[in-house]
Amino acid sequence: MKAKWLILNIGKDNHINELFYGVQECGRTAEVIPLKDFYEMLETPSPESACIVTSGSIWANSYVRKQRPNWVGNWHDESLFTCSRYYSYWGKYITQQNYVMLPFSEIRRRMDWLYSDIGFEDEIFIRPDSGAKEFVGEVVSRGRFNAWETEAKNGENWKSDLLCVVAKPQNIDREFRFVIKNGKVVTGSTYRLAKHISMERMADIDDISAVIAFAEQALADNPPPLPPVHVLDIADCGGKFSILEVGCYCCAGLYESDRRKIALAVSEAAEEEFASKNNS
C-alpha cells in the first residue's frame, strides 16, 4: 500500500506547499487539511489499518495515536522521546553532561543547591524530561527564577510531579536538526546560531560532513530503540559536537530541511512497516 499523507494546516509552516508537492513528486498522495476537519475526521475511534502519514502539531499526532492506533506512519510514541530514556543509552554524547533529574516541585526546594553545585554563575538550564513541551527548555538565572516558575506553571500540561532535567548551562555556537531514517541522515538544517534563530540548508554549511559523521557515529553506538524515522538535534560547542535532543519527525520544526527528501524517506519507511505488519 502506498502511503497517503495528511498534512495539518496549522498556519505555522511556510514549507507546507513544498512538502505537499514533494509527496506528489515521489508518487504518493497528500491532503492539506484544516485543524477542524482533521479533528472531525478522527472524532470517532476506528480500528482501521492504513498507511497514513500525519504531519502537524504534537497534539494532533497524539490524537492520531489515540484514535487510529493501527495507522502506520505516525510513530509519535511519547515514551520513546524522554531524556531519561535516551540519556541512558547515549550519556557520553549528550550536551548536558552535568545534570540531575527531579520533579518540577523539587526545583524550588533544592534551588540553592542546584544553583551552587549544578549551575554556573547563578544560571541553570531546565527542561522537561518529555518531548511534549510542557514548558520551553531554557537557561534560567537565579534572579529570574520566580518569573520562570510562574510562566512554566501556565503550560497546558504542567503538573507538580513533572520530571525535569536541570543541568549546567553550555555555550552553544550552533544547533542543527537532522531527519534520520534507519540511523542515517536524510536531510537537515541549522536552526540556531548562538542564541539567535538562524536557518541554513545543508548544502550551504561548510563543515556539514563533519556534523553528519558525528551524528551517524552516535546513531550507530548503542542507540535506543527508536522509530525508523525521527529527528536528532546536534549542538556545536566550540567545535565539539553533542546530542541535544531526539524527537518525533511528524511534529518537529523542520526549518530548511529538504521536504522532498523527507517525503520519500518517510513514505518508504511507512510502507515498509505496513507491509511487514500485514504480511506477518
Summarize pLDDT for 40-71 with one digit per residue, the tens: 999 999 999 999 999 988 889 999 999 999 99
Mean pLDDT of 90-98: 96
The strand pairing partners of 123, in sequence order, are: 120, 141
Whether the CB-CB separation of 209 and 201 falls below 8 Å is answered with: no
Tell how strand 71-72 and strand 50-55 pair up: parallel
The whole-number pLDDT of residue 155 equals 80
Mean pLDDT of 188-213: 93
The whole-number pLDDT of residue 13 equals 65
Q: How far apart are CA 108 and CA 115, in angstroms?
A: 11
- On the question of pLDDT at 90 being above 90, the answer is yes
pLDDT confidence bin for 23, thresholds 50/70/90: very high
Q: How far apart are CA 185 and CA 7, in angstroms?
A: 22
Mean pLDDT, all residues of the chain: 94
Name the helix (H) or strand (E) containing 38. helix 35-42
- Structural domains of the chain, with CATH: 4-75+267-279 (3.40.50), 79-83+171-247 (3.30.470.20), 96-167 (3.30.1490)
- On the question of pLDDT at 11 being above 70, the answer is no
User: Residue type for 238, please?
Assistant: G
Going from the C-alpha of 23 to that of each of 5, 225, 228, 258, the distances in angstroms are 8, 27, 18, 12
The whole-number pLDDT of residue 26 equals 96
The three-point CA angle 261-59-106 to 5° equals 115
Per the listing, cell 515514551 goes with 79
Q: How far apart are CA 36 and CA 129, in angstroms?
A: 30
Nearest to 135 by CA among 102, 164, 166: 164
The three-point CA angle 228-255-29 to 5° equals 55
Q: What is the pLDDT of residues 154-170, one digit of tens each?
A: 987 889 999 999 999 99
Secondary structure letter of residue 94 according to DSSP: B
Secondary structure letter of residue 120 according to DSSP: B
The whole-number pLDDT of residue 144 equals 97
Q: How far apart are CA 5 and CA 100, in angstroms?
A: 40
Going from the C-alpha of 97 to that of each of 88, 101, 112, 157, the distances in angstroms are 12, 12, 20, 27
Q: What separation, in Å, do the N-terminal and C-terminal C-alpha atoms of the chain show?
A: 15
Per the listing, cell 527508536 goes with 226
| The model scores a pTM over 0.75 | yes
pLDDT confidence bin for 10, thresholds 50/70/90: confident
The strand pairing partners of 166, in sequence order, are: 100, 126
Q: What is the pLDDT of residues 127-153, one digit of tens each?
A: 999 988 899 999 999 999 999 999 999
pLDDT confidence bin for 99, thresholds 50/70/90: very high
The whole-number pLDDT of residue 196 equals 86
